[in-house]
Amino acid sequence: MISGGLGSGDLEAWFQNLMLSAGGEKSEGKGAAMAGWKDLPMELLLRIISLLDDRMVIVASAVCTGWRDSLCLGLTNLSLSWCKNNMNSLVQSLVPKFTKLQVLTLRQDRPQLEDIAVETVANYCHDLRDLDLSKSFRLTDRSLHALAHGCPRLTKLNISGCSAFSDSALAYLTDYCRNLKNLNLCGCVRAATDSALQAIAYNCGQLQTLILGWCEGVSDNGVTSLAVGCPDLRALDLCGCVLITDESVIALANGCPRLRSLGLYYCKNITDRAMYSLANSRVKSKHGLWGSMQNNSDEKEGLMNLNISQCTALTPPAVQAVCDSFPALHTCPERHSLIISGCLNLTSVHCACAVQAQRVSFSADCLVGSLILTLANFCDSYFESDISISTLLDPIWILSMVWSCIF
């Protein structure tokens, strides 16, 4: 990796050393040789740049117009999350150079971004697919409106913690960005409402992942709309959505056969009825009611992660039914994908591999007991009978004794 602070003289010396180490002599019939580091082919330059961190990419873009132009055409992934100060200005100065960006990460430890920076992104990065604006507390609806018009190809958007966005602005965005597959709305209390979820269900039928953690305004109306409009949903986080009831889980069990991860942490209104609906959905899939699942081995796995921590209304039989229906759910420490912390009454629930381990342990205990009994019989046979030493050492006699003790 190239260290910081390289000037043109340093680059010239570095290039000369590179040419000398490679032979440095011009070969006839092989085209023009490179006269300096500025003549590096774009493919080679982009390969070198791919080995650098994002800060050095920015430095490289300022070396010369040739490098800047090459980076403008070839750079597709950029993260500025390392910037602790002046991210707003940095975005405005850099983004116009990198118009081919497809992935842009602007996650912040403390709020810096303002609407003008996001508007710059929308004005120049029309091919953007993945945008992370998490913890951008200063952004307003202006940003979502700009993204709606400037970045219609978005497939992944993280606006978690952006508490100033409204549900009407989010609905407006989904009307233009209809290719969204991954949407993180964690903590977006004003934006993530039933009205917004209904717009998402109507506009974003390809949605696969939706994070709604601690969006307390979400109710069954919004979730049931998602179950109808987004049948390809794979992961849904409803942790802290305290208004959710069994109706939401039943709708998801019936409408989203590809659901792999479901977070219901602190959804205290969830009862056994929801668990049995999940278990029954697995039974239905095995009987071919969702024929599309039969053609894909991955689809047969069903739920792979379920968080029901603090769902204190659930009982062991209902949760055990879910665990038995979905082999990928585990309570064992090594895999632990069925999370039941805070539910002391569910400690008896065990996955299939945990039960198997108990059976193996029980069988081992039985075998040890049998061997001890066999040893005792050997001793009794030797001291209480006239059996000779040669008989005791006879393999056939030993096997017969072991067989009789065990069976």
Question: How much is the pTM?
Answer: 0.78
Q: Are 91 and 116 in contact (CB under 8 A)?
A: no
HSE-CB at 308 with a 13 A cutoff on CA atoms is 33
Closest by Cα among 223, 328, 325, 318 to 275: 318
- What average pLDDT does this structure show over 355-380? 54
Q: Which two tokens stand for residue 56?
A: 């050095």
Read off φ and ψ for residue 156, nearest 5 degrees.
-140, 125
- What average pLDDT does this structure show over 142-153? 98
Provide, rounded to the nearest whole percent, the portion of the chain with pLDDT above 70. Answer: 72
Range with lowest mean pLDDT among 28-32, 61-65, 246-250: 28-32
Question: Residue 254 in 3-state DSSP?
Answer: helix
| pLDDT (tens digit per residue) in 302-359 | 999 999 999 999 999 999 999 999 999 999 888 889 999 999 999 999 987 855 545 4
Angle at 317 between CA 315 and CA 321, to 5 degrees: 120
Angle at 80 between CA 76 and CA 83, to 5 degrees: 165
Alpha helices by DSSP H, listed for 151-270, are 167-176, 194-203, 220-229, 246-255
| pLDDT (tens digit per residue) in 263-309 | 999 999 999 999 999 999 987 666 554 444 444 444 457 999 999 99
Q: Are 149 and 176 in contact (CB under 8 A)?
A: yes
Rounded to whole angstroms, how far apart are CA atoms 35 and 15? 9
To which H or E segment does residue 278 belong? helix 272-286
Alpha helices by DSSP H, listed for 100-161, are 115-124, 141-150
Q: Are 374 and 405 in contact (CB under 8 A)?
A: yes
Rounded to whole angstroms, how far apart are CA atoms 72 and 100? 7
Cross-strand bridge partners of residue 338: 306
Rounded to whole angstroms, how far apart are CA atoms 8 and 220? 62
The dihedral over CA atoms of 244, 250, 252, 256, expressed in degrees to the nearest 10, equals: 180
Question: Residue 17 in 3-state DSSP?
Answer: helix
